[in-house]
Structure 1
Amino acid sequence: MKLITKYIPVLLSILMMGGCKTDMKAPAIEVYETSADGHKLTRLTSFDEESNRSVIKLIPEDEYQTITGFGGSFTEASAYVLNQLSPQNRDTVLEAYFGDSGARYSLTRTHMNSSDFSLGNYSYAPMENDMELTHFSLDEDKDDIIPMIRDAMKKSTEGFKIIASPWTAPPWMKDNKNWVGGRLLPEYNDVWALFFAKYADSMKSEGIDIWAFTVENEPLGNGNNWESMHFTPGEMTLFVQNHLGPILEREGKADIKILGYDQNREHLREWVDDMYRNEQSSKYFSGTAIHWYASTFEVFPDELRYAHEKAPDKHLIQTEACIDAEVPKWKDDAWYWSKEATDWGWDWAPEEDKHLHPKYVPTYRYARDIIGCLNNWVDGWVDWNMVLNTQGGPNWFKNWCVAPVIADTENDEVYFTPLYYVMSHFSRFIRPGAKRIGFESEDKEMMVTAAKNPDGSIVAVVFNPTTEKKNFSLNIGEESSLISINQQAIQTIIIAP
């Protein structure tokens, strides 16, 4: 694999297009591109001189949300697969995600208790009626997840935040006594809230800080297939208001953020309406978590903007996304750039929702969703599994999915899919604390977003899904650069401070 070269600002000599202001100068920029024709975060230094080009104007004085970060998830499946590789290849993957030469992930997620991307069902509190959780233990995670997180921490110069999400409470706390479905029994509200505090303490003792919790992964359920537990908006809000928030506060964990909802965007309005109904209901919520599975093409911008307007001072974080219901394609870059992927909705969505689940291009879906989310107030974007095997697992339910990195554990080989490079276009260059900034773009076929980093550098990400090469002038103040982007390509442009 070709690792990303270390970021070193240089001055490019850029020819000015005819008709531009003669007093405009070229800024110091770097341009990286990933494309269907083979670029993989490749540094570009020369561009077409054609005068037929559109204009992208960056407006740094127009500031929007502060960026929390980008990254992926520490699952038992990913950690287990990494442990089946040679130490050298395991290190290569962790460096590629967290090292200075790699994607520099800054925001991550993990599961509390088991998920479908575990080897089987487990809980940290298996003892029935253990009301004080005296038998709470992270032993199930000590072979895989915890070592993966620790080794990632060693790779990361700036560190990263961790969001922890439960798929279900232990079955003994639920009305159906099952890993799948059911609801938390009211008599266990405080015990389940204490579970979160115990988890944070136990991870702290392993040298790992938890930045945030989501209350429940997919509270609307998953069709009763794998670990789940159901909440209505009102039930979740009351649980946070009367149990989780106060108990985290009592246990000295008030600094850990609580993110509500944590499922698809089409139901976002009803959840934020309840969570942020008044000061009392919203007191302990730090923000809202969302997933992308409601559609293979729709970003749901109206819902995202509504959630932001409902609570403009709260986080809005995409916590899970993947190419689902697919077995990974091994060393087949072309597949990731072709309209061949399908998701669960292709077969199983209700007839009235099938139009939301057509075939799609995997790289397009990632680029389109991240840009669309950023441009509609989302401040963090977290991918699902970081690495899976060639089957798309392990997954105890056989719910196969695709990860940006695929490993052939039998032959000790690692494949960095184009999705890894698309993620890197954002995570590597847009850093925590950056401010999204305004822009104007004449070419409506391209998607654009931009941010200003804490070090003063400005980053623009441009996505060209068309089958034609595009030329554009990137203007900022009195500075202008003439740039070309290949067909079916995503490009990150860094303007030195």
Structure 2
Amino acid sequence: MVVLSSCHKKDNPIEFEVYETSASGNNLKKINNFQNFDTLVSLKLLPEQTFQTITGFGGSFTESSAYLLNQLSKKNRDTILKAYFANDGARYSLTRTHMNSCDFSLTNYSYTPVEGDKTLEHFTIEEDMDDLIPMIKDAMAISEDGFKIIASPWSAAPWMKDNKHWVGGKLLPEYYDTWALFFSKYIDAYKAEGIDVWGFTVENEPHGNGNNWESMHYTPKEMTDFVQKHLGPKLEADGKGDKIILGYDQNRAGLKDWVDEMFRDEASSKYFDGTAIHWYESTYDYFPEALQYAHNKAPNKYLIETEGCVDSQVPVWKDDAWYWKKEATDWGWDWASEEDKHLHPKYAPVNRYARDIIGCLNNWVDGWIDWNMVLDRQGGPNWFENWCVAPVIVDPDADEVYFTPLYYTMAHFSKYMRPGAQVIGVENSDPSLMVSAVKNPDGSIAVVAFNEGEVPKSLSIAIHNKTIKMSIPEKALQTIIIPKP
């Protein structure tokens, strides 16, 4: 704990702690010594100015991640789960999983294997029993504070769809009630395994994914009508009306049309508890105007980032420096239209995560969920060979584990910004230094600052008529903890 005298002699000194992840090699390292730099940034924390309440931060339980954990030694499996969920780890508090298979499954599968089974008499989660459910239950046993689970379907079984295929197509109207029942059955099946599901997104990426892997398309009106007339009433009738329903669940650039339809009137809004978003529209723009619009349309609803990752990229193994360099590419590097190509340059993975999370916090987003928690050195397994990066990469053949800088980047938020915290105001003299701050339920204040540039900076942080003097080096992410006075 660093103790600095305040600018008022009669006041008690300010105690604070600083944790840093940096291109120079620090990974959530506690910092006690600071330097004076020519560039001075003044921050003023405004605890009395409050914004959204934090729901949580975390990652996703996928069959791929769970399968890989089961290929490792018990020691390494436990190390990874503790790193994510233990009190001395990242303390993940908000998570996501898939209903039926997704691209990060080993194969296509459904909980409704019998064609024409409209009452779902043959509903079964047997496919999840070997890997996915044990991973979730082991995480629950490790987590002292617990965590919320959001479940998302990528597609209904092909027999319920107009194209009879896993990829693309739409849910046939004759199966709307069956599909609503599917959500209710899922709650019961997971509850029987000791797992409480907090809520759902209605459909992962309703625009589709370029007809590549499991998907099912909705227009904004189709999804809103399904929730208003089928899903919401069914959960309510089954005594599950407390389960959270999030609409949309795709990229932010398309938010306006969706929230306009979802929250068009009281009847349409009734069963939607909020909006889910992804980040894949750009590698650097977090679309603040779209986020502000979504919040203003439904100011008392959740706004949660439910998926983001370094996509279309094979992970780099045991080379922390790569994650700080502008060398990663994404799907848009190759496939974006010419007019959108500028949104997808090469980028530094740490920068993308840190910028996006801070940008989200400063624009009303209350939860942020990473995609896979664990992938292998290829960026899979993935039945479609859609390779991605996870914060933890493993080599199951050699029983080796690599905690990338992305793991520590996530922990800067998840470990120190706790559920129930409130985002507070910050006056910042330097727009190039990204900053967000929250007041935690225990009264402590957590400030995250990201200096992605090449110039180190001195910081002067004012709070309660006291001032903290410290510094942040170039290419560094810091979390500053100020205990309750």
Scaled by the length of structure 1, the TM-score of the pair is 0.96
C-alpha contact 2:252 2:281 (8 A) present in aligned 1: yes
Q: Map residues 212-291 of structure 1 onto 2, 5 A cutoff.
A: 212-291=199-278
The equivalent position to 2:54 in structure 1, one of 42, 67, 76, is 67
| Structure 2: runs of 5 or more not aligned | none
Show the counterpart of 2:108. 121
% identical equivalent positions: 66
In structure 2, how many angstroms separate the alpha carbons of the residues matched to 1:214 and 1:291? 12
> Could you tell me how far 1:13 is from its partner in structure 2?
3.0
Paired residues of 1:34 and 1:421 also in contact (CA < 8 A) = yes
Q: Tell me how far 1:152 sits from its aligned partner.
A: 0.1
Q: Is the 8 A contact 1:15 1:49 kept in 2?
A: no
Q: CA deviation at 1:479?
A: 1.6
User: 1:49 Cα shift?
Assistant: 4.4
Is 1:41 the counterpart of 2:41? The answer is no
Q: Secondary structure at the match of 2:66?
A: helix
**What letter is aligned with 2:158?**
P
Separation in structure 2 between the aligned mates of residue 348 and residue 21 of structure 1, nearest angstrom: 58
Mapped partners of 2:21, 2:71: distance in 1: 29
- TM-aligned CA deviation for residue 445 of structure 1: 1.4
Q: How far has the Cα of 1:26 moved from its partner? A: 3.6
1:34 aligned partner, one-letter code: T
Q: Are the aligned partners of 1:105 and 1:428 in contact in 2 as well (CA < 8 Å)?
A: yes
Are 2:366 and 1:379 equivalent residues in the alignment? yes
From 389, 392, 397, the counterpart of 2:376: 389
1:22-101 correspondence runs (5 A): 26-49=13-36, 53-101=40-88
Q: Does 1:320 align with 2:307?
A: yes
Q: How does 1:272-351 map to 2 (within 5 A)?
A: 272-351=259-338
Tell me the SS of whatever aligns to 1:493.
strand
For the residues of structure 1 that align with 2:156 and 2:424, how far apart are their CA atoms? 41
Across the aligned residues of Structure 1 and Structure 2, the Cα RMSD in angstroms comes to 1.1
Q: Which amino acid aligns with 1:296?
A: T
Matches of 1:24 and 1:338, distance apart in 2? 44
Distance 1:254 1:50 in 2: 55
Using the TM superposition, give the Cα deviation of residue 371 of structure 1 relative to its aligned residue in structure 2, in angstroms: 0.2
State the SS of the aligned residue for 2:4: coil
| Offset at residue 480 of structure 1 (A) | 1.1
User: Match for 2:112: what amino acid?
Assistant: A
Counterpart-to-counterpart distance in 2, 1:232 and 1:13: 56
- SS of the residue 2:296 aligns to: helix
Give the Cα separation in 2 of the matches to 1:159 and 1:477. Answer: 33
Distance 1:122 1:454 in 2: 42
Letter aligned with residue 73 of structure 2: S
What does 1:397-416 correspond to in 2, within 5 Å? 397-416=384-403
Residue 460 of structure 2: aligned partner: 473
User: Of 421, 426, 430, which aligns to 1:434?
Assistant: 421
- Amino acid corresponding to residue 479 of structure 2 in structure 1: T
- Whether 2:342 is the aligned partner of 1:355: answer yes
SS at match of 2:3: coil
Show the counterpart of 1:4: none
Separation in structure 2 between the aligned mates of residue 21 and residue 211 of structure 1, nearest angstrom: 47
Distance 1:445 1:279 in 2: 41
Tell me, yes or no, if the aligned pair for 2:314 and 2:378 is still in contact at 8 Å.
yes
Q: Secondary structure at the match of 1:471?
A: strand
- Alignment partner of 1:14 is 2:4: yes
Asked if structure 1 preserves the Cα contact closer than 8 Å seen for 2:5 and 2:12, the reply is no
Gaps in structure 1 of 5+ consecutive residues: 1-9
Offset, 1:432? 0.2
* Residues 74/214 of structure 1: CA separation in 2 closer, same or farther (3 Å cut): same
2:167 alignment partner AA: V
Quick one: which amino acid aligns to residue 458 of structure 2? Answer: N
SS of 1:135's equivalent in the other structure is coil
Q: Which amino acid is the alignment partner of residue 301 of structure 2?
A: K
Is the 2:91–2:415 contact (alpha carbons within 8 Å) kept by the matching residues of 1? yes
Q: For residues 489 and 372 of structure 1, what CA distance do their matches in structure 2 show?
A: 16
Q: Which amino acid aligns with 1:177?
A: K
Counterparts of 1:380 and 1:353 in 2: how far apart (Å)? 27
Report the TM-score, using the length of structure 2 for normalisation.
Answer: 0.98
Report the secondary structure of 1:335's partner residue.
Answer: helix
Inter-partner Cα distance in structure 1 for 2:314 and 2:329 = 11
- State the one-letter code of the partner of 1:234: K
For 2:277, the aligned partner's letter is I
2:183 equivalent to 1:196: yes
Q: Is the 8 A contact 1:25 1:479 kept in 2?
A: no
Alignment of 1:124-163 (within 5 A): 124-163=111-150
Equivalent pair of 1:114/1:123 in contact (CA under 8 Å):
yes
The aligned length equals 484
Q: Name the structure 1 match of 2:156.
A: 169
- Structure 1 residues 293-315: Cα deviation after superposition (integer angstroms, max 9, x where no partner): 00011000000000000000000
Q: CA deviation at 1:76?
A: 0.2
Q: Does the aligned pair in 2 maintain the 1:24–1:480 contact within 8 Å?
A: no
Query: Distance between the aligned counterparts of 1:122 and 1:51, measured in 2?
Result: 59
Distance in 2 of aligned mates of 1:63 and 1:254: 29
Deviations 1:311-352 (A, max 9, x none): 000000000000000000000101100000110000001111
Residue identity matched to 2:105: S
Q: Is the 8 A contact 2:380 2:387 kept in 1?
A: yes
Which runs of structure 1 show a deviation greater than 4 angstroms over 4 or more consecutive aligned residues? Answer: 20-25, 49-52
